Chain A
Amino acid sequence: MSPMIEARDVTYAFGETPALRGANLAVAAGEVVAVMGPSGSGKSTLLHCLAGILRPDSGEVRFDGARIDTLGEADRSTLRRDSFGFVFQFGQLVPELTAAENVALPLLLRGVRRTPALRAARGWFERLGLAGMEHRRSGELSGGQAQRVALARGLVAEPRLLFADEPTGALDSLTGEEVMTLLVDAAREKGTTVVLVTHEARIAAYADREVMVRDGRVNAPAGVAS
């Protein structure tokens, strides 16, 4: 089966400092894959290259078999908006918006009208244990609540591929595991592919498989091709 998202010999440097030195990774549709590695190993840079946020210096990134690393910024932006969802370590909610408006944001950016977008957004609150918090702003939410709002925002538009970069990194272990359970349940229910960056083995254990990034290269575990 051809992969949904793939990096082929991707290199990327921040100035003179190489972050990726020929990284290869292939993720099939519906897979939940954890990208592990120590700090500075290049795992977040790999995620950003896969997601079209960064353009590799060399190598290829393919989505559904088509190269996306050669696309211009506008096309990559459209791709991110229409096909990808994102969850980051600190939620990065827009503080001026309510929780429901934050969740609705990807739909509004896709051109969905405000009323149906907010209706779809509110549908996530009960499921994520956030009922009654639709009107709160990010400053009125705990870390775990804010991250669940961020998770809903990442999934509300039913992206084919969700990128999660240390989604539990700012949470205590119990809250982090609750967020991971919700994330994986929602992804499995919708068949969403997930690329999860984490340095925590307990979080990676929620994935179907894991790969290790070391010194800008991807090492698959013994017996598994990446």
Chain B
Amino acid sequence: MTLSARLQSLIDAGVHRIGELEIRLETAGHSFLLCHHLDAEAAGREDFGGLEIHHGPDDARDLSTWSEDGGYRFAKAQTNLRRGWVMLLADIDQLRLALDGFYPAAVGVFAAMLDGTLDIQNLREKLERQTGMYRFARTISDEGAQRLVREVCGPAHQCARRILWRLNDNTPLDDSEASRYNGVPGEIPENEAIPLLCREACNHMVAECRRVAKEEAGK
């Protein structure tokens, strides 16, 4: 089954949210409408409540590049997606392209998790295979790594991903808001959303591990 077909079946089963995006069906002659979930009420009005209108998926990258306050969103799961727009999409393929613009690979990663084919890499394995300037990150202590998860990850630090990895096979992450987070921003039932998943530590986390490892080594 193609990823577009998978996405369609998820929507048929009641999914209408991914990250901060609300997915609406059959609006003003278009198959799908995307908007920030906090703009959903305005987007439901006949004139889209004065929201800026975008046709097709091409503007997804531009809309997701800058936050409201002008910050560069290099990590797309940051919980600061800007508001004030709607995107009208003709079909499920356009919806999939748009979602890969806002939340790259999130649909495919979730589909792989449902299929049991998602590769998850623990932090120690991730750090062990770093080369060049990031090689030093592997020397970070377990305590340092656990603290970084609390200080870098989770919605309190603007990341909406559900962490699936552990430090290693035998060492789960310490309990915290970050390690408990379910990957679904907003107050909706989990089965109505495609969660944002973190299948291995991002490069921002690796860079932070290197920084802390250097501090620990007194360098």
Q: Do chains A and B interact in one complex?
A: no
Interface residues of A (CB under 8 A from B): none
